[in-house]
Structure 1
Amino acid sequence: MSEIFREITLEFDGRTIAARRYGSERGQPVLALHGWLDNCASFAPLAPLLDGLDLVTVDMAGHGRSYHRSVDANYNIWEEVEDVIGITHALGWRRFSLLAHSRGAVAAMLTAGAFPDRISRLALIDGLVPPPATAEEAPENLARAIAQRARYGHRKPREFASFEEAVEARKNGMFSLSDGAARLLVQRGTRDVGQHLTWSSDPRLMATSTLKLTAAQVRAFLDRVTMPVRLVLAEEGIPDMIQRMRPLLAGRENFEVREMHGGHHLHMEEGAVAIAQWFGPFLRAQAPELA
């Protein structure tokens, strides 16, 4: 695939999603969903290595250059499912595959569980399910979410005196990043406010979800994910991710899992080539017929 992409804007239900489109519209349709506080530049190193696709990488709601949810709305993970369906309606896609990382991979799994007839294949990177909660935790979790949404909604965005200062901050965030990866994300993930830069992401993304799925609900979604799935787990990624996934995936024959060397953003760094070699033929394959 050529490194050249087109910047596109997708409109649906009064929402505006910014995106990049790689490849040819004659290729297999694939929608790419990035991780928490990232943006579609997350796939910039990987996308040119994936041939034969109509690959659309989006800035998800509240990220990059896309719309922010209204003041009375939340960024609960399941809200992303409605956006995915709206985006693909705007693209004119009936069936499509999902390429996704981290929080985006969770959104991809929930979409596939809710709409299994729409999803051809899942190619996921260091993410699959949200951490489950117990029913007993729901009241305190709701109170915490409401308090956090109010606090973050009124928080003044962090300011950076220069692009380089923002890059340093991104390199040393929750997951350490190489200089090159950080620059890609910061270029798309900041906005100019006079003499300073600030993050373009919605601060309310920092608030916890108002309600979290229970273990039984997570399994119910997974049980409906019957299409072919390939999952890359980073050996130096989210702590205990590999151990937590093993019991969940036991007996699920449609899942193929590979553990690869690298950190949580390995698809932006040393793991890009290996991931492309494994995901490329998988995503180019003809969509399996519906039963």
Structure 2
Amino acid sequence: MMQIAPREISLEFDSKTIAARQWGEGGGEPVLALHGWLDNCASFDRLAPLLNGINLVAVDMAGHGRSYHRSPHANYNIWEEAEDIIGISEALGWHNFSLLAHSRGAIASVITAGTFPKRVKRLALIDGLVPPAAKDAEAPDNLAKAIAQRVRYSQRRAKIYPTFVAAVEARKNGMFPLSERAARALAERGTLPLEGGYTWSNDPRLMAASTAKLNEAQVRAFLSRLSMPVRLVLAEGGIANMIERLRPVLAGYKNIEAREMPGSHHLHMEEGAEGIAEWFGPFLRGDVA
């Protein structure tokens, strides 16, 4: 079993600072772990110690946890994560590496691997693959919505919880319900103390819609560029209708092996961690195709 306590590290590139946790030793297979929307690298605290023979670096993505926030004029469009992912790999000295990712992080991983297929060795994805394809005719309305929301969230005052326990309770009962243990792990990493209590460290602009969304042809283009083997865990109690939505997509890509597992959207933080580690561990080490 990998060591339970990770090392806290900081990565610098392009005047950006990414906070991260590292498990394993330098000689292990390099794996970059990417969390989901409004989460942070503590998302992997339960799964990471179960993965042997891996040099695992779990990062706080831009705008999350303890990492940098983008400039006031920037956006958090999903495809922009690819630039940071490659920058992180360069800061680590990794030319070839695998990606272990959850939800929004999984979508960012597919976009990155499709853009730079020679850099990514394997994809191990949890309850996320590609976003729902947008219709071309929706583009003007999507852009208008994104601009309005970015202004609104840029000016939004942070919500303050009177106690840390109150913040944990809010995370526990959020969009995707979590156990006390999982909610506390994310809150410990993702809250800041201030006068009057605690607030989330996430950039409020993460709540704004993307300025543009991928259409069906673009989604297929990224998937078609995945030359590496892919394993995908789908949570039986995860995002509504996602399994049904992805089934016809998966049918066209023989290199993507999917497996449905019991659990909620954050099953890797809950009882599903052991089953995921059993399937992902040999795969990420390169012991199996």
Q: 2: distance between equivalents of 1:14 and 1:52?
A: 32
Describe how 1:36-47 pairs up with structure 2 within 5 A.
Answer: 36-47=37-48
Which aligned runs of 4 or more in structure 1 are off by greater than 3 angstroms?
Answer: none
Describe how 1:47-86 pairs up with structure 2 within 5 A.
Answer: 47-86=48-87
Superposition TM-score, scaled by structure 1 size: 0.98
Q: 1: distance between equivalents of 2:5 and 2:263?
A: 27
SS of alignment partner, residue 78 of structure 2: coil
What displacement does 1:287 show?
9.7
Q: 1: distance between equivalents of 2:143 and 2:177?
A: 30
Q: 2: distance between equivalents of 1:178 and 1:224?
A: 37
Point out where structure 1 has 5 or more consecutive residues left out of the alignment: none
Paired AA for residue 213 in structure 1: L
RMSD: 1.0
Q: 1: distance between equivalents of 2:148 and 2:116?
A: 33
> In structure 2, do the counterparts of structure 1 residues 262 and 287 end up closer, same or farther at CA, with 3 Å as the change threshold?
closer
CA contact (8 A) 1:10 1:17 kept: yes
Query: What is aligned with 1:209?
Result: 210
CA contact (8 A) 2:160 2:196 kept: no
What displacement does 1:130 show?
1.2
Superposition TM-score, scaled by structure 2 size: 0.98
Query: What is aligned with 1:282?
Result: 283
Q: 1: distance between equivalents of 2:127 and 2:155?
A: 32
What displacement does 1:252 show?
1.4
Query: What is aligned with 2:118?
Result: 117
Query: What is aligned with 1:268?
Result: 269
> In structure 2, do the counterparts of structure 1 residues 85 and 287 end up closer, same or farther at CA, with 3 Å as the change threshold?
farther
The answer to whether residue 97 in structure 2 is matched with residue 96 in structure 1 is yes
Query: What is aligned with 1:169?
Result: 170
What displacement does 1:125 show?
0.2
Query: What is aligned with 1:189?
Result: 190
The answer to whether residue 205 in structure 2 is matched with residue 198 in structure 1 is no
- Mean alpha-carbon deviation: is it higher for 82-91 or for 132-141? 132-141
The percentage of aligned residue pairs carrying the same residue is 68
Paired AA for residue 275 in structure 2: A
CA contact (8 A) 1:236 1:262 kept: yes
Q: 1: distance between equivalents of 2:25 and 2:162?
A: 40
What displacement does 1:256 show?
1.0
SS of alignment partner, residue 243 of structure 1: helix
The alignment of Structure 1 onto Structure 2 pairs a total of residues equal to 288
What displacement does 1:4 show?
2.0
Q: 2: distance between equivalents of 1:287 and 1:125?
A: 19
